[in-house]
Every structure is written in structure tokens, then in C-alpha cells.
Amino acid sequence: ILIINGSPRKGNTWAVVKEVKSDISTIDSNIKFEEIHLKDQDIPFCNGCFLCIQKGEEYCPHYNSFKDIVNKIKSCDGLIITSPVYALNVTALMKNFIDHSAYFYHRPYFFNKKALILVTTAGSGHKRVANYLSETLRNWGFNKTYKIHMPVHARILKEKDKDKINKISSEWFKDIQSDKIHNPSFKAVFYYNLWKKMSTSSNPLPKDYEYWTINKYDKYYFAPNVPLNPLKKVFGMLISGFF
């Protein structure tokens, strides 16, 4: 399990992480966790050069500072991604990492991955931030996301909070163990066909065109390794035809 921590410190959000690790270790004592703390990664701020989308992520001037993180996401069995609420959004550390990964919006990849999102706040905004992270991972291709978001103060978790953490983290981990690939949402099908058409129609970006055609994703209404029920397949056909 890979943990990407977007907090600049080990505070309230990390209290939830520790509870999740304990719950999952109870289910499987052999589970291995790897922690990446973005504050220690020294990733420069994204300068918006657009090279990752136009030519490929390897052309990003900061590629060497984050490529290992991306490779670990690709190879992990499950992802935990965390952020406290800062000014009603994710932290600058997390936003900067997401900005550097913007090419996954054009070229989604993680169709067989499931993630657990952890968000805490001392005030409000935790649901909104958790939904933003979930939306981001859906655009990256993630098959399913689970969300734990709650107010936490002084790193103290109430019993009802612990019960919620245990319930959701256990569901997520057992879902990983099952190897089940879920049907995508209608929204996921919509955006898949949007990016497919944008990447293969007139004047596409070269890297996007290469990705969609070499992988033959342009031949499907969703990634071929993901089940698509008849209703969503028809929906994909309509959306693809419309675009």
C-alpha cells in the first residue's frame, strides 16, 4: 500500500492514517506500507509549460523530481492519498503534485487501481476537498475511490470517528483483495469518450494520439479490461458519436 501524504506535518490527518494502517494490518498482518511525504520530495512548482501534455511527461523540466512517485503508483496494489483542508482546498504540496500529473487527464492510466482518500479539517470543507481528490483520481482512470473525511482536533479521534475509519478502510482493502474491477460511472464513461475523441479527431496532440491509438483505447467505449454493462456501453456509443 502506497501512502502519499500531502500534509506538511504529521498532525490531524496523520492520526487518521495511523488508524487506517492499524485497521488494515488487523485484516492482513503481512501488508507492507510505503510512505511518501510530499514535503520531503522537493518538487518545484509547476510552471505551466504544457510539455507533459503536448510532447509527453518525460519532457517536463521537473520530471526527475516526481517520476519515481508516479512509478510507485503504477506498481502499488492500493493507494492512500491524504490532505488536510487548507483554505477550503488541498494543500499546496498536493496541488503541485496534481498539477505535475495533469497529463493523466488526457491519458488516463490506472484503470485497475482503487484508492482511499483521507481528508481532515479543523473547520469545514472536508467533503469538498475529498470530492476534488476523488474527481482527480477518476480522471486519472482509477476504478474506484473510497473517501474518509472528517473534522479532527488536537489529533484526537472520537470513537464514532474510529468506527467510520474502520468501516470504510476495511471495505476498501477487502475490495483490493477481491481483485474485482467495477463498472465505471456514467461520468467516467462520458469523459473517457470525450478525451478519446479529442485525442483522435482533427489536429490532435501528438502524444495523446499516440497513447490512444497504440493502446487501441480508441476502439472501445471504455478501457477494455473494465466491464461495461449494456446501458453504459450504449451511453458510451452515444457520447462517442456526439463528439
Cell of 171: 471495505
Percent of the chain with pLDDT over 70: 100
The string of pLDDT tens digits covering residues 158-207 is: 999 999 999 999 999 999 999 999 999 999 999 999 999 999 988 899 99
The residues near 207 (Cβ < 8 Å, ≥ 6 apart) are 53, 54, 55, 56, 103, 106, 107
Percent of the chain with pLDDT over 90: 98
Looking at residue 137, what is its pLDDT?
98
pLDDT exceeds cutoff 90 at 4: yes
Cell of 25: 494490518
Looking at residue 28, what is its pLDDT?
96
The string of pLDDT tens digits covering residues 76-111 is: 999 999 999 999 999 999 999 999 999 999 999 999
The string of pLDDT tens digits covering residues 209-219 is: 999 999 999 99
166-169: long-range contacts, CB 8 A cutoff, minimum separation 24:
166/19, 166/23, 168/116, 169/19, 169/20, 169/23, 169/24, 169/116
Looking at residue 202, what is its pLDDT?
82
Q: Look up the pTM and report it.
A: 0.95
The string of pLDDT tens digits covering residues 121-136 is: 999 999 999 999 999 9
Looking at residue 243, what is its pLDDT?
87
Q: Give the pLDDT band of residue 237 (cuts 50, 70, 90).
A: very high
Looking at residue 136, what is its pLDDT?
98
**Cβ(148)–Cβ(119) under 8 Å?**
yes
* Collapsed DSSP state (helix, strand, coil) of residue 169: helix
**Cβ(161)–Cβ(152) under 8 Å?**
yes
The neighbouring-strand residues paired with 156 are: 153
* Intra-chain end-to-end CA distance of the chain, in Å: 38
* Collapsed DSSP state (helix, strand, coil) of residue 44: coil
Kindly report the backbone phi and psi dihedral angles of residue 132, in degrees, each rounded to the nearest multiple of 5, phi listed first: -65, -45
Measured distance CA(92)–CA(63) in Å, rounded = 18
Across residues 15-30, what is the average pLDDT?
A: 97
